[in-house]
Amino acid sequence: MSLISVIVPIYNVEDYLNRCVDSIINQTYKNLEIILVDDGSPDNCPKMCDDYAKKDSRIKVVHKENGGLSDARNVGMEVATGEYVSFIDSDDYISLDFYETLFQTMIDNDSDIVECSVVKFYEDNNFDEYRDDLKVTNYETVDALDGLISENPFKQHVWNKLYKSSVALDIPYAVGKLNEDEFWTYQVFGKAKKVTRINKTMYYYFQRNGSIMGNGYNIRRLDALEGKMNRQAYIEKNFPTLTTKAKVDLYGSCMFAYQSVLKFMSGNDKKKACKIIRDYKNRCKLTTDEINSVTDSSRKYYKLAKFNFYICCKIRSVLGIGF
């Protein structure tokens, strides 16, 4: 039975940590290396991690100074020894057959990455609706990247997937960035010869007000544009047939970011954010032919944005498009 390394970055989640770790240690797939990375957590998490390690020999605990989510994942990757690797966020949890299902799907389809479906749930323990048909679909590298860029069917999230360590462990996460997945996932997909998706919901994504992504819109959200700009350079160099698709997505992200800033920000931070977004938009240099490659109803907004970016984003903001 192959060893799967499970990396769990931990910070200030004492109310949720048991739920997360229990869902991992009770997996039907038993050959796990569970790496709990205490990222300088100020609460009771360090002791909780040590207590788990005393009870389960599969658990390794790393205590470190606070460096953020990406830094914690990187430290976990440095000590991982499994042939396969997975990342679980410490306020989320997984179904008990998560690893058994993903591993068997990977073996059956000779894949480098397998992704499952995700459902959001909330403080009151209510879940979004979801429907599974258990369909399994395989994608070669270019098609997988195409599906990741459009986020259909793949998502940027790193944690609803199982990876061969050979495609993941030598790509560090960008430290100090919000939306760190935007900097990482495309590179791993680019190394994978085959990516598989199974439409089975096995990752439970907790929505809490105090989380990094649960806070209000702020200038740090623009890290995602930097990630997509880096992706654009990577795509142009390594997968040129996807250049237009990636650029259209980047431009669309600039529009959404700008309309979000108009709606949710104010003062000097708003001015600074608007300038950052305009700089990314100008570097994107979307052409008329590239706009015409958009086949859905959003094409009109791309055309309007090319004529007057501010007016387009203001209209979208007022109408609530995309929110």
Q: Which domain holds residue 303?
A: 219-319
- 117 and 28, same structural domain? yes
**In contact, 69 and 41? CB cutoff 8 Å:** no
Q: Looking at 166, 187, 207, which one is the last position of a domain?
A: 207
- 203 and 235, same structural domain? no
- 83 and 187, same structural domain? yes
Which candidate, 179, 316, 297, places its Cα nearest to that of 255? 316
Distances (CA, A) of 69 to 43, 52, 212: 16, 21, 10
CATH label of the domain that carries residue 77: 3.90.550.10
Q: How far is CA 308 from the centre of its chain?
A: 31
Query: Per DSSP, what are the bridge partners of residue 85?
Result: 5, 163
Mean pLDDT per 10-residue segment, the chain (323 residues)? 98 98 98 98 98 98 98 98 98 98 98 98 96 97 98 97 98 96 98 98 90 69 97 98 98 97 96 98 95 95 97 95 87
Q: Are strands 32-39 and 59-64 parallel, antiparallel or unpaired?
A: parallel
CA distance 321 to 323: 6
- 141 and 229, same structural domain? no
pLDDT at 322 (0 to 100): 86
223-238 and 141-149 helices cross at what angle (nearest 10)? 150
Total domains, the chain = 2
- 265 and 174, same structural domain? no
- 150 and 232, same structural domain? no
CA distance 96 to 129: 20
- 143 and 61, same structural domain? yes
CA distance 216 to 273: 14
